[in-house]
Amino acid sequence: MKTTVEISDSLLKQVKSLAAEEHTTVRALVEEGLRRITVERKHAKSFKLRKVSFLGKGLQHRMAGASWQQVRDAAYEGHGA
């Protein structure tokens, strides 16, 4: 399939030079790069926030069911925000 991709002139110059050194084509290098990044991202682990609590006491009772605004206000209470 044919498609058009816009890349910077400097990158294209580097890719053409590399292709010449490796006796291959720009197309082959582009395909290799796309395959690599596809595999890399497919196997990348997603970020998971670990479960923690402060001093083992967990959520304060006054914050149970609180809105984000209430939690934020409590966090900045006495700190001028």
Count of domains for the chain: 1
Given a cut of 90, whether residue 7 has pLDDT beyond it is yes
When pLDDT is cut at 50, 70 and 90, the band that residue 20 belongs to is very high
Q: What is the pTM of this model?
A: 0.54
In a domain, 55, yes or no: no
Return the ∠ at Cα 70 (arms to 65 and 72), rounded to 5°.
Answer: 120
* Structural domain span for residue 32: 9-43
Q: What is the pLDDT of residues 31-76, one digit of tens each?
A: 999 999 999 988 887 777 777 666 666 677 778 888 999 888 888 8
Find the DSSP H helices in 1-81. 9-21, 26-43, 68-76
20 falls within a domain: yes
Q: Which of these, 31, 41, 23, 24, lies nearest to 5 by C-alpha position?
A: 31
